[in-house]
Every structure is written in structure tokens, then in C-alpha cells.
Amino acid sequence: MATFQSLPGFREFYPEDFSRRKHIFDLWRRTAHVFGFAEYDAPVLEPLELYKAKSGDEIEGQLFSFTDKGGREVALRPEMTPTVCRLVGAKANALKRPIKWFSIAEFYRYERMQKGRDRAFRQLNVDIFGEPGPEAEIELIAFLVQSFCAFGLTEQDFYVRLSDRNLWFYYLEALGLDESRVRAMLVAVDKHEKYGDDAFKAYQEQFGALDPDLKAKVLAFLQIKTFAALELTFASLNSDKLTARLVDWKKLLGGLEAMGLTRFIEVDLGVVRGLAYYTGFVFEAFDRKGELRALAGGGRYDDLVEKLGGPALPAVGFAIGDVTTALLLEQRGLAPVFVSAPDVYCVIGGEAGRKAAFADVQTLRAAGRRVDYPMKEVAFGKQFKLAADSGAKLALIYGEDELAKGVVKIRDLSDRTEHEVPRADVQAVVRDFFM
């Protein structure tokens, strides 16, 4: 008989896996709470049109898309950003600004599978709308850092690479490139880390041989690691745009420094982001050892709300993936150990014992205690082993002797001490034990 397997890249979450995932989501939510972000959700199936040309060629080629029974072209969402732009755009005037929203949701991309890349994965999406200045980036990068620190990770484990598409635009413009050349050069920059010089091929096919001086300048720009080096590079260019942009950089880096986060941040102009809609600062988080694919990515996308039919509304945000986050926690020994133990286990003798126990089981559970008992008749003696194996802290014993005396025996399973309490007092004694 054929065994049915899940589709490649679609994970199944057995309880142990689920508890790990829950741990990640719990800490993401806690971080969102302390940063004052409100949670939202949205449909998993969207009109295909939402992603066409807006997310970029790479994501478009990875869509799980089909025609529904009503003849609509639809796609499983590959990301949240276009959707959240639609949500915010539709109610922009009614929402108090800055709009600080987050969501935890599943996404689908038909990717070539590799470590850290699946076809269904979850992301924490965090976005701020209505704030044009780098104050929003400060808030978001602080959030991004804290979302990893919340698990016990430190600057030894991860870092954030900070870059700026505007800076590239203004710099390449100052070097004499027109807009189409700048865009093609940014595609080359995006690919350079992976492909080296081959990354310039497409540029050369489109615009002819690459001026060696230009190439040298681009490669030198990619090496920049400090704000001071940026200032030095621009000093001779006399570009007002670049000068003004450095003021934004100063504000952003200054804000992060004041928050004590400099140790997590690296200036790295090699990050330009593959998604089509980014317009300004962009950033990505990576593990320090460089063993994993990106942990998170984001940036500013000031035009997208308007392009999707809403008002002009500045926006910036990022998403963290659950797959690489889980791998990093595992590597660092920070994944939680799966524990599924009741607080209380009932040892039950015969029908009368069962009746007596059930009344307490129900009341204890209603009071929030986690209570377990053998569902079927099990020899009385064997139940003590079941109680110990369950990991419970207390055993409540409803044997014939106890019933005859009108008591319940309570055994502390950590030190095996026992005492009897009148049946009417069981609730209070258990409550006090767990206080």
C-alpha cells in the first residue's frame, strides 16, 4: 500500500517540534508587546496580481499560483508586505500614527530546497507606517535585535548588516550613471557576494564593457565598514543628496548607539535586497558563524502603499524566518527541552475510587491545574509507576482504604513524602502546594 508523504518543503510538527515553534512564537509576541506593536492577520490566498511586479522577479517565479473555480488567478502568499500595505492603505486615515503592526503567519515559496529554506515557512513581520525619518528604522532595528536577544542569543551569535539603496543611488548618480544603469548595477551588487565578477555579466550585456574605474569604485564601496569611511568616500563628490543622506545615517547610527546596540550592527553596502519595492535603508540579520542563510531581512518601502491603491504613506519593516531561527537556537543549545508533564496524577482503586477521583479531577482542572489519570482500569500497584513516569509533582491516591476513611492520600513525588487529607480539603491543599 502506498504511504502518503507530505510535500517536499512542507514540515510536519510533531508535539516536540510544535513546542519548539511555540517557544519561538511566544518570545516574538512578547517582544512585540514590549515594543508596543499590535497584531493583525490576513488571508493566506491572495489575487496573483498583488505580487506581480511588486515583489520582484525572484518571488514571482516562486509563487504557488493557480486559477480558482471562479476563474480567478490566485496565489498562496509568499510574503506579507503587499498584503499589509493593502490593509493599512484601506484604513490609513482612521489609524493612529505611527502605525506599528506585527503578524506571525505562514508563507509559501516554491524554492530550491536547502538547509534553512523550505517551501512553507513562518515569518514574524514587523512594520511601521507613517514615519518617514530614520526614527522608524531605529525602532525596528532595536526590535530585530531584541527578538534574538530574547532567546538568550548575543552579539557573538548574530549581527545585523545595514545598508542603504538611496546611498547607492546617489553615489552611482554622482559617478555619472543614469537610473537604468544604477538599477542594473544594484542587481550586480546583490549577486556579487555569491558570484564574484560574474555578477557584472548582465550589466555588461545591457550596457557594454564595464569601465574599470567604475568597477573599482563599486568594489571599494562594497568594502566600506564604517560611517567614517562613508564620509571620506563622499568628501570629494560635492553631492548635496549624499551629504543630506549622511545626516540620516548619523541619526540612525546615533540612535542605535544610544540604545547600546552598536555591537550588533555592521555597515555593509553589499546588502541591497532582492525584493523590488525597497527604497531606502535595508538590513539583514545573519548568524555570526556564517553557516546559515539569512535570519531576517527588511527595509524601507515608501512607495508600495500608494502603488497598491492606498495613499502615499512611508513604510519600513522586516521579517524574521522561523526556520533559520530554529536552526540557530538548536546550534547554540537554546532550543527548549520538551516537557509534557501533568501537575497532578490520580491513582485510582476500583469504581468507587474512580467516582471520587473524577469529581476532584474536574474541579482541579477547572481551577487551572493540569491533571491526568489512567483512562482505563489499571492494577492499583502499577499506577504508582505511571504516576512517577508521568513527571507529575503530586499523586492523589483514591484507594479503598482512603475512601473508607473519607480521605485522599497526597504523595509528593519529588521526595515521596505522603499525608492524608480529608476529601473536602483536597482542592485547597493542592492549590496551596502549587502556590
Interacting residues toward ligand HAM by CB under 6 A: 79-81, 109, 111, 117-118, 121, 123, 125, 127, 275, 294-298, 317-319, 321, 323-324
Q: Treating both helix axes as pointing N-terminal to C-terminal, what angle do 227-234 and 240-258 enclose, rounded to 10 degrees?
A: 170
- Give me the count of residues in the chain: 435
DSSP type of residue 200 = G
Closest CA to 218 of 204, 198, 200, 202: 200
Find the shortest distance in angstroms from Cβ 347 to ligand HAM.
Answer: 46
Q: What is the pairing mode between strands 158-164 and 265-267? A: parallel
Neighbours of 110 (CB within 10 A): 15
In the chain, what's the furthest Cα-to-Cα distance? 97
Choice between 169 and 286, CB closer to ligand HAM: 286
How, if at all, do strands 394-398 and 407-412 pair? antiparallel
Q: Which is nearer to ligand HAM, 134 or 317 (CB)?
A: 317
Nearer to ligand HAM, 298 or 349 (CB): 298
Residue 410: which H helix or E strand, with range?
Answer: strand 407-412
> How far is residue 190's CA from residue 169's CA, in Å, rounded to a whole number?
14
- Which C-beta is closer to ligand HAM: that of 158 or that of 373? 158
Cα gap 88→145, rounded to integer Å: 25
For ligand HAM, which is the closer residue by CB, 193 or 257? 193
CB of 307 to ligand HAM, least distance (A): 14
The minimum distance between CB 217 and ligand HAM, in angstroms, equals 27
Burial class (CB in 10 A: 0-12, 13-18, 19+), 141: buried
CA-nearest of 262, 282, 267, 254 to 226 is 267
CB nearer to ligand HAM: give 224 or 319.
319
Q: Minimal distance in Å, beta carbon 166 to ligand HAM? A: 16
Q: What is the smallest separation between the CB atom of 331 and ligand HAM, expressed in angstroms? A: 15
Question: CB of residue 206 vs ligand HAM: minimum separation in angstroms?
Answer: 25
- Pick from 384, 393, 390, 398: which is nearest to 426 by CA? 398
* Terminal Cα-to-Cα distance of the chain (whole angstroms): 53
Least separation in angstroms between CB 299 and ligand HAM: 6
Q: Which residue has the cell 539583514?
A: 284
By beta-carbon proximity to ligand HAM, the closer residue of 313 and 319 is 319
Task: Compute the least distance from the CB of residue 278 to ligand HAM, in Å.
Answer: 8
CA distance 102 to 320: 11
Which residue, 118 or 343, has its beta carbon nearer to ligand HAM?
Answer: 118
Q: 3-class SS at 39?
A: strand
State which residue has the least CB distance to ligand HAM.
321
Q: Which is nearer to ligand HAM, 25 or 207 (CB)?
A: 25
Q: What is the nearest approach in angstroms of ligand HAM to the Cβ of residue 201? A: 24
Q: Give the span between the Cα atoms of 255 and 251, in whole angstroms.
A: 6
